[in-house]
Structure 1
Amino acid sequence: MLGEQHREVQDAVRRFATEVIRPVAAELDETERFPAEIYRQMAELGLFGITVPAELGGAGMDVLSYAVVMEELSKGYASVADQCGLLELIGTLFTRYGTDAQRQRWLGPALRAELRPAYAITEADAGTDVSGIRTTATRVPGGWRLDGGKLWIHNAPVCDFAVVLARTDKAAGHRGMSIFIVDAASPGFSRGAKEHKMGQRGSPVGALHFDGVELPEDALLGPEGRGFHIMMSVLEKGRVGIAALAVGIAQAGLEAALAQAKQRRQFGQPIAEFQGLQWLLADMAKDIQAARLLTWDAAVKLENGDPGANMACSMAKCMAGDVAVARSADAVQVFGGTGYVKGYEVERLYRDAKICQIYEGTNQIQRTIIARELLKGNAS
């Protein structure tokens, strides 16, 4: 399925992840530090905005290339891959719906790592159910007034601007939401404390608060009242990204487990010689490959505008997330007590994997989407 260009990208990102990201992954996990130096290097290598057209500052590649990049970055450290995924969603929004002025002001600098974005949807009562958002944007002379807050937002502690979904018409349901670009330097914009997460600790998460933030007319991104539909449309690509990230975590666990199985000896022989462990490794490998192929299939369908792309993206995200959790647990099992000790890679991978079943739409909602598409007759 991968062409020559995909494999060239795969090799280049794999080297970057091996030489630059993986050596500092343990330190980033321990300190919860945002890797600003890696962030800048990723921009220099063109790893932000993989599918954004080259004339807008992106790499101009396809969705399958994005999946390949996300997997390889995640094998180095999933928190770094998260940054690539965030820029991909932001880049997709600006590419499809931004004005030339908005792209010049926000998108270009973001892709060059001169500005750090946040993608702000989630609220206390609006996680999986986005229709429950309460943040409001009210028309005022010359623009808008933004009030409310967001929770669990990636990059909230370090962002320079946020793309915010807000309610602009309380009576219009899904059609009463719009998207706004909010400068973090605006009066009334503030941040909550950085959250201390179980895993992916190098990717900062926190709350954003909007207390009468005044926004100009051109802060509106895309048509008024279409914010919900716009945000949901780009989440399909987000699910491909998270699926690939999950595959990367699982693959890193498999590679660590293989090395350990060959090295560790019990009863006078490497534990790799025991059939029970061989079968465990085989199950890890086949499940990871199945998740990878589902992810690539979803990427191709999304790129081609296939009617089955929505279901394919949910299948990939759901399966890859489950595989990452189950098979990273198996990697810990291969290491035995050592794998349970903080500081070992497989222990971190196990913690990093869990969020893959939760963010970008829980795996429960992915199953609901899959069932809905099946019942509509979209079975392929």
Structure 2
Amino acid sequence: MPITETHQEIRRTARRFAEEVIRPRAEALDHDEAFPADIYWQMGQLGLFGITVPAEMGGAGLDALGYALVMEELSRGYASIADQCGLYELIGTLLSLHGTDAQRERWLGPLLAAELKPAYCLTEAEAGSDLSNLKTFADKTADGWRLTGSKLWIHNAPVADVGFVLARTDKEAGKRGMSIFIVPFDAPGVSRGPKEHKMGQRASQVGALQFDDVRLPADALLGTEGRGFHIMMGALDKGRIGIAALAVGIAQAGLEAALAYAGQRRQFGQPVADFQGLQWMLADMVKDITAARLLVHHAAEAFDSGGQSTIFCSMAKCFAADMAVAQTANAVQIFGGSGYIRGFEVERLYRDAKITQIYEGTNQIQRTIIARELLKNGVPA
């Protein structure tokens, strides 16, 4: 699938915004661990949330390839900002595909305009890669549901207005006994743990949530009862495309910084870019970044075609994340001692890259998925 003029237009919009608004503030946001609500409000006005949500529902109405292009460009500015775009994409996907008209009217428009902040609530202390061990439970009541449990490492938990919470509704049905609930965080019984202080992507807020007998109306259920696990997993294929593109953006920013530094820094009377060993590092960086980008675009095209895309999404996420960690390490190496010092962009990029190997399914889980799909369906075309 070619990159169309519509794709180019939104990529230019995202790149301009990243260069003019995001990148100048990236170091301060990382240092302060600040939540940049003003940046997100501007992104909402530009239509940078809900890239694949249909236009008639308030989104940009583009495809997964458009989403990948936006995520890469935003991440070149600062991965924490791109991460927020990815979160809104997941929530927008859930509501646009599985929400009722009333749920979309109440939640989708305000979310895409960044008037509300969402949280995507899956992980628990004993249920990360293994969601079959989920403990949060929702009981039916006479007029709705009662939610009890806790969540861990939840993106936006310290600041979110509403959560999309995966909970058990049938303790005996395994993955077929999970459902999704829309939970306003001002509801009685909802409490938050302290903000976690992370290694990287520090402007992205993460924390714990507690649900103590939270009473919910019947229409808090999103989609079909018992289908929550499958709905969440369906959204994660697109999420992995987003994280893969985010990883490419981090690595691209590292390459650009390393290339500029190598031409300026002099040792032994000449620019360090003249040394063959360093040239080979730059060659590996651009080679692997290009390969990862093409794999991301291929995964997006497979997803947009409506066919079996899971193996491509997992390959893209796994390869791009490993690449980003390796190539931002090369960027630090090219900077030498300076690259290890706070305040140099490549030091932050190296820290920001690491989490891409962990969230949206660890890279070990991605390899398990790839092998499972390969054994089940054969070598993908």
Tell me, in whole angstroms, the C-alpha distance in 1 between the residues paired with 2:255 and 2:359: 23
Hey, what's the Cα distance between the residues in 2 that align with 1:33 and 1:258?
29
Rounded to whole Å, the distance in 1 between the matches of 2:19 and 2:348 is: 17
* Structure 2 counterparts to residues 52-63 of structure 1, below 5 A: 52-63=53-64
Matched, 1:88 2:85: no
1:304-332 Cα deviation digits (max 9, x unpaired): 1122x100000000000000100000000
Is it true that 1:22 corresponds to 2:23 in the alignment? Answer: yes
**What is the count of residue pairs matched by the alignment?**
379
> Could you say which residue in structure 2 is the equivalent of 1:129?
130
For residues 114 and 259 of structure 1, the distance between their equivalents in structure 2, rounded to whole angstroms, comes to 39
Task: Give the 5 Å matches for 1:321-340.
Answer: 321-340=321-340
DSSP 3-state at the match of 2:342: coil
For 2:10 and 2:270, locate their aligned partners in 1 and report how far apart those are by CA, in whole Å.
39
* 4+ runs deviating over 3 angstroms: none
Are 1:346 and 2:371 an aligned pair?
no
- For 1:166, the equivalent position in structure 2 comes to 167
Shift of residue 378, structure 1, vs aligned partner: 3.5
For the residue of structure 2 that corresponds to 1:306, the secondary structure is coil
Aligned residue runs from structure 1 range 174-193, under 5 A: 174-193=175-194
1:72 aligns with 2:73: yes
Kindly provide the CA deviation profile for residues 58-115 of structure 1, in whole angstroms up to 9, marking residues without a partner as x.
0001110000000000000000001100000000000110000000111111001111
- Counterpart of 1:34 in structure 2 is 35
For 2:300, the equivalent position in structure 1 comes to 299
Partner of 1:365: 365
Partner of 2:110: 109
- 5+ residue gaps, structure 2: none
1:107 & 1:149 partners in 2: Cα distance? 25
Question: In structure 1, how many angstroms separate the alpha carbons of the residues matched to 2:26 and 2:113?
Answer: 23
Matched, 1:236 2:260: no
Distance in 1 (CA, whole Å) between partners of 2:344 and 2:317 is: 26
**Shift of the alpha carbon at 1:379?**
1.4
Residue 320 (str. 1) matches residue 300 (str. 2):
no
CA distance in 1, matches of 2:108, 2:208: 23
Shift of 1:374: 1.1
Q: In the aligned structure 2, how far is the partner of 1:338 from the partner of 1:73? A: 25
Q: Which residue of 2 aligns with 1:256?
A: 257
Structure 2 residue identity aligned to 1:84: C
Q: Does the residue aligned with 2:7 lie in a helix, a strand or coil?
A: helix
CA distance in 2, matches of 1:8, 1:107: 24
Separation in 1, partners of 2:240, 2:33: 25
Deviations 1:125-166 (A, max 9, x none): 000111111000001110000000100000000000000000
- State the one-letter code of the partner of 2:109: G
Q: 2: distance between equivalents of 1:83 and 1:351? A: 17
Give distance in 1, aligned partners of 2:187 and 2:376.
46
CA distance in 2, matches of 1:146, 1:377: 39
Q: Indicate the SS of the match to 1:315.
A: helix
> In the alignment, residue 356 of structure 2 is paired with which amino acid?
C
Q: Does 1:142 align with 2:149?
A: no
The residue identity in structure 2 corresponding to 1:197 is K
Aligned equivalents of 1:131 and 1:42: distance in 2?
Answer: 36
Q: Secondary structure at the match of 2:377?
A: coil
Alignment partner, residue 197 of structure 1 = 198
User: In structure 1, what is the Cα distance between the partners aligned to 2:378 and 2:152?
Assistant: 34
Give 1:2 shift.
1.7
SS state at 2:50 partner: coil
Tell me the secondary structure at the aligned position of residue 376 of structure 1: helix
CA distance in structure 2 between the partners assigned to 1:2 and 1:280 by the alignment:
29
Matched residues in 1 for 2:26 and 2:323: separation? 22
* 1:224 paired residue number: 225
CA distance in 1, matches of 2:125, 2:101: 34
**Structure 1 position 6, deviation (Å):** 1.3
In structure 2, how many angstroms separate the alpha carbons of the residues matched to 1:50 and 1:121? 22
Task: Note if 1:311 corresponds to 2:306.
Answer: no
Structure 2 counterpart of 1:10: 11
Q: CA deviation at 1:3?
A: 1.9
Distance in 1, matches of 2:368 and 2:23, equals 36
Q: What per-residue deviation string (whole Å, max 9, x for no partner) do you get for residues 218-268 of structure 1? A: 000000000011100110000000000000000000000000000000011
Residue equivalent to 2:276: 275
Q: Which amino acid aligns with 1:126?
A: A
SS in 1 for 2:282: helix
1:100 counterpart residue number: 101
Cα offsets for 1:273-318 (capped at 9, x unmatched): 11111110000000000000000000010011122x1000000000
How far, CA to CA, are the matches of 2:212 and 2:228 in structure 1? 21
